[in-house]
Amino acid sequence: MDEPLPVEPMLATTADSTVDGPEWVFEPKLDGIRLLAARDGGRVRLLTRNGKDHSERYPELVDALGSQPHDRFVADGEVVAFDGNLTSFQRLQGRSGKRGDAARHSAVAVHLYLFDLVHLDGVDLRPSSLLDRKERLRSSFAFTDPLRYCTHSTGKGPELLDHACAAGWEGLMAKRVDRPYRGGRSTAWLKLKCVADQELVIGGFTDPRGSRSRFGSLLVGHHDDEGLRFAGRVGTGFDQQTLDRLGDLLAAREQPESPFVDPPTGRDLHWVRPDLVCQVGFTEWTTSGRLRHPRFLGLRDDKAPSEVRRER
């Protein structure tokens, strides 16, 4: 279900190199799902960046937000699950399809890291600087599990990124300390990645081989000015539960024509309606625009397929 967003989320731009200087602060890049946490009196909503309501998926987070001392706010954050000491989008996928009590009693524990405060008690904080908003956030909420404050660091960006990568993190978020909160893509927030991953649209699949059931590989792509551009085949990262779930979704979307402007060729190809978005990890892009060593990480419903573009 899509809900009206209380504010348009501020989005980061992927950077080719790190930044440095006192005008920047650095936060850990979390491997989860971005959520706006909105409370209006007795109602708490958890909304994705495209307006899907995930409140029933994370009832323990709704409870934690509903117990805060302020009854009207909009905060920005990310829901995560941990695999050891690291956040893991694949681990978070264990909550997919679960709602209400089934989600509450899931073996996959979740936490909500809040990193920005947009509204509080009727006051619009978007014109304030980032550091002012974060200080207001830290002083206004009771941060006990599963609610956590996303800390930030200052210092030399390259050194902090090296440390983050050595520790196995996804990377860092670099944010300008003096900038307001403005909806849409911005260079005031930058993604500094340690690992390569990409949101991609599923446009087809291949027949299974050997002991594999349901399908062999996913045919994925991203949008450019001409349409959906083929980016490669993803054939690893699936357990049997994922194969069965995806197999049902693909079968319901099968269509005779290719959605790609440059479709691959072969005898075992099947095309689907391109309305599913997945997260894919890989080592690099080839010179021909294909993914090298891709692996499936999970489905995403927090981004519209039409918004999926290749990250540079």
Fold annotation for 10-193: D-amino Acid Aminotransferase; Chain A, domain 1 (3.30.470)
Mean pLDDT score, 4-29: 92
- Cα 193 to Cα 236: distance, rounded to the nearest angstrom: 22
Confidence at 256, pLDDT banded by 50, 70, 90: very high
Is residue 303 part of the annotated active site? The answer reads no
Question: Which DSSP symbol is given to 8?
Answer: P
pLDDT reported for residue 1: 55
Question: Which DSSP symbol is given to 27?
Answer: E
- Whether 272 and 205 have beta carbons less than 8 Å apart is answered as yes
Residue 291, pLDDT above cutoff 90: yes
Mean pLDDT score, 26-33: 96
- Whether 130 and 175 have beta carbons less than 8 Å apart is answered as yes
Residue 243, pLDDT above cutoff 90: yes
Mean pLDDT score, 42-49: 95
Residue 183, pLDDT above cutoff 60: yes
Q: How far is CA 187 from the centre of its chain?
A: 18
- Cα 176 to Cα 266: distance, rounded to the nearest angstrom: 48
For residue 4, whether the previous peptide bond is cis, meaning omega lies within 30 degrees of 0, is no
108-165 pLDDT tens trace = 999 999 999 999 999 999 999 999 999 999 999 999 999 999 999 988 899 999 999 9
- Whether 312 and 16 have beta carbons less than 8 Å apart is answered as yes
Averaged pLDDT of the chain? 94
The helix (run of H) or strand (run of E) holding residue 136 is: helix 130-140
pLDDT reported for residue 96: 85
Q: What is the phi-psi region of residue 227: left when phi exceeds 0, alpha when psi lies from -120 to 50, beta otherwise? A: left
The dihedral sign for the CA sequence 295, 298, 301, 303? negative
Mean pLDDT score, 231-260: 96
**pTM of this prediction?**
0.85
Mean pLDDT score, 25-42: 96
Percent of the chain with pLDDT over 70: 99
How many other C-beta atoms can be found within 10 angstroms of the C-beta atom of residue 80? 22
Mean pLDDT score, 251-276: 96
Active-site pick, 29, 134, 193, 303: 29
The helix (run of H) or strand (run of E) holding residue 252 is: helix 240-253
**Domain range list for the chain:** 10-193, 196-307
- Per CATH, the number for 196-307 is 2.40.50.140
